[in-house]
Structure 1
Amino acid sequence: MVLEEVGKLLLELEKAELEAPGGGATAQTYTQLLAVYLYQNDLCNAKFLWKRIPANVKSFSTELQQVWLVGQRMWQRDWAAVHTALNVEWSEDISSIMNALKVSVRDRAIHLISEAYSSLTLTTLATMTGLSVSDAQSAAVEKGWIIDGDMVEPKRIDKEQSMPHTNLTEDQLYKLTQFVSFLEN
């Protein structure tokens, strides 16, 4: 997903939650909002959202529970469990968000591995990235990492190469300005 699209979707979903009749939005709205927070790696807002979702909505929406399971595993930094939780069939409402989240989590894991490890096994690399061993080997070769038998020697990835440049949109700048203004008052 494009950063701009996610920002617009987030604003729409937050507005839908705030303006919901009777104070409770639909399960679909909560599910999409939770998925967007996870995609943005905004685990604090995801956790607060989960706390304010009415209990009856939580109990009757299995997909919402599944998205929250992903969030819990992200909070615990259990990357193997995150990938397991992400590998389910998602509805049309959130499949694009969850697929983008899967790619984002994998990219972050690869970047962290390049920063933190001087060597690791292919199996560990596969577990941390949610890839099969052969796909993990291919990803390592693609990154220019050295593979010696079952061991992988990662090279540091330039931040510019791994993380795309993100320009703040006007909506994001407005939201940030409002937040800073709120904190100052």
Structure 2
Amino acid sequence: MDFSDLNEALASESYDQIGEICDNLMLQAASEGVPFQDEWPYAVHLLGHIYVNDINSARFLWKKIPSGLKSSQPEISAAWKICQKLWTKDYGGVHESLREFDWSSQSQGIIIAFSERYRKRMFELLVSAYSTISIRDATVFLGMNEDDAINYAAVGGWTVEPNSGMLTVKKAAVAVEQKVDPGKLQRLTEYVFHLEH
């Protein structure tokens, strides 16, 4: 099996392409009748789908993985655990699943990138959903200890209320579209016309 496209995507940190590359290689191998199951990078394949938040594709792939490989290759089960936590919206569990396994060198890059991406997505979720949040709850969503969560939030412009143990969320500026009153536009046009003539 030629995994050069996959290896190139991993080397160039093009993690958003991993799932699709693996899907295409798997289809190609199946259509050519090439036995591939024992050497297939199932963990990376699962992580590729997880990285782009394609949980349904990850679930279907999980069903295709031979049960012997699921039990003999713990990294496959570790990747699946992340998928399960995402599926059940166990935000803190996702961070725990990322940290608790000793990932292979092939998977480490995508794990680090996904962890950062996921943390950023959780931060954006908090910004859109809360005006204040307890430091403890923020640590769960961000997967950090209290000091790191406070520092991370401070970079985003949040403030800490030390007496209450709460973070005040800084809302992102919302661009407001202004509608032009046709009557005002008409008067402006007439005024400019009058000035020119």
TM-score (norm. length: structure 2): 0.73
1:25 partner amino acid: Q
Q: More displaced, 138-147 or 25-34?
A: 25-34
Whether the 8 Å contact between 1:24 and 1:54 is mirrored in structure 2 is: no
SS in 2 for 1:93: helix
| 1:86 matched residue in structure 2 | 98
1:132 aligns to 2:145 (yes or no): yes
| 2:21 matched residue in structure 1 | 12
Give the unaligned 5+ runs of structure 1: 160-185
- How far is the alpha carbon of 1:11 from its aligned partner? 3.6
Whether the 8 Å contact between 2:18 and 2:49 is mirrored in structure 1 is: no
- How far is the alpha carbon of 1:2 from its aligned partner? 10
Of 146, 155, 172, the residue aligned with 2:170 is 155
- How far is the alpha carbon of 1:9 from its aligned partner? 3.3
Q: Cα–Cα, structure 1 residues 106 and 8, in superposed 2: closer, same or farther, change >3 Å? A: closer
- How far is the alpha carbon of 1:67 from its aligned partner? 0.6
Runs of 4+ in 1 over 6 A off after TM superposition: 1-4
Q: More displaced, 108-117 or 25-34?
A: 25-34
Q: Which has the larger radius of gyration?
A: 2
Whether the 8 Å contact between 2:16 and 2:51 is mirrored in structure 1 is: no
Whether the 8 Å contact between 1:122 and 1:133 is mirrored in structure 2 is: yes
| 1:46 matched residue in structure 2 | 58
Q: How many residues align?
A: 159
For residues 105-184 of structure 1, what are the structure 2 equivalents within 5 Å?
105-149=118-162, 150-157=165-172
Q: Cα–Cα, structure 1 residues 97 and 85, in superposed 2: closer, same or farther, change >3 Å? A: same
Q: Which has the higher contact order (CA 8 A, sep 6+)?
A: 1
- How far is the alpha carbon of 1:127 from its aligned partner? 1.2
Of 33, 36, 44, the residue aligned with 1:32 is 44
Q: Counterparts of 1:35 and 1:158 in 2: how far apart (Å)?
A: 34
Whether the 8 Å contact between 1:24 and 1:53 is mirrored in structure 2 is: no
Q: Counterparts of 2:59 and 2:76 in 1: how far apart (Å)?
A: 13
| 1:183 matched residue in structure 2 | none
List per-residue Cα deviations over 1:56-78 (Å, max 9, x = no partner). 11121101000100110011110
List per-residue Cα deviations over 1:68-102 (Å, max 9, x = no partner). 00110011110111100000321011110111111
Give the unaligned 5+ runs of structure 2: 1-9, 175-197
SS in 2 for 1:94: helix
| 2:73 matched residue in structure 1 | 61
TM-score (norm. length: structure 1): 0.77
SS in 2 for 1:152: strand
Whether the 8 Å contact between 1:129 and 1:136 is mirrored in structure 2 is: yes
